[in-house]
Amino acid sequence: MLYPEIAPHMTGWLSRADGHEIYWEEVGNPDGIPVVFLHGGPGAGISQNSRRFFDPEKYRVILLDQRGAGKSKPFGSLENNTTDHLIGDIEALREDRGIEKWVVFGGSWGSTLALAYGQACPERVLAFVLRGIFLGRESEIAWFMDGMGRFFPEAERRFLETAGFDRNPGWQEMLDRYADIFAGKEGEEAAVEAARVWSAYEATCCTLLPDEALVEDFEGDEIALALAKLEHHYFVHRCFFAPNQLLGNVDKIAHLPAVIVQGRYDVVCPPTSAFDLSNAWEGATMIIVDDAGHAASEPGIIRELVRAMDRFDGKTFA
């Protein structure tokens, strides 16, 4: 149900004062309804399919690789890489592209960043379309490190063994151990292998049915080396949020339209977070996909995301 493949008609790098270069691209109708696409991870980067959720006749879509991800430079950098920095990059890109307001579309970590951006700049948002909700709470980080393996014990075994454990010692100790490895205390080769294992573990847990191609993509250098380091960095710093920050500030965006698309069998970001958000946001529309897990590539998730964007029109944003 994705729209046909489309090449960007404009691309570039947005230079930031602290040395980061943010890659962006634009597809669709230059006079259409503006949308910003926020990828997951953090660190996953955009892909060709990221462009295909949107009717190219209806939407003007801006996609960016967040700091350290994809084609942005320097690749994998943790320096000056916080949620506030990412929000600043999005705002700078909006101004650079001459956009007053836009629809904010994000999944997984992209949903986290979409909410954080919207709460910081509600006057710049037309609506939200969010998938696989992650609210950046400590309980959700603990689940990633110490919960997903209950459903995927084979994948968890490799995750544990790479960190030198034969059983899960607890989520904080796992974070600490991977911090040592990623810092190079066991050598560069061990750090690279750990990044691939971390990323493959997540990819294995992402889908309702096995998807070896997704796992292979996540293990590749273009994703793994940034995804693992950046996810770990943000987990260590609790996503740079105060406790329960995003739910506590829902009132700042409660007047805006929102669609939440959530896989029933999402092991990476279990549905409880989506329900917590929906319960706090009276005007949001919640769509549970009963035949899907977490990944945006699953047919049911694609179907509902495309439908959500197709339903929006000029009246929605009046």
**Given the residues 72, 77, 108, 273, the one annotated as active site:** 108
Report the alpha-carbon distance of residue 254 to residue 251 in Å, rounded.
Answer: 5
Place of tokens 């930031």: 16
Annotation marks residue 273 as catalytic: no
- Catalytic residue chosen out of the listed positions 211, 233, 266, 278: 266
Q: At which residue do the structure tokens 């750090």 appear?
A: 191
Which residues on adjacent β-strands are paired with residue 60?
28, 34
For the question of residue 266 being annotated catalytic, the response is yes
Sign for the pseudo-dihedral over CA of 109, 111, 114, 120: negative
Q: Of 20, 39, 233, 294, which one is the catalytic site residue?
A: 294
Rounded CA separation 104/102 (Å)? 6
**Is-catalytic flag, 278?**
no
**Distance (Å, whole) CA 233 – CA 243:** 17
Long-range contacts, 297-302 (Cβ 8 Å, 24+): 297/49, 297/207, 297/211, 297/214, 298/207, 298/208, 298/263, 299/1, 300/263, 301/131, 301/132, 301/261, 301/263, 302/1, 302/2, 302/53
Q: Give 134's contacts (C-beta < 8 A, 6+ positions apart).
A: 108, 109, 111, 112, 140, 269, 273
- Write out the catalytic residue numbers: 108, 266, 294
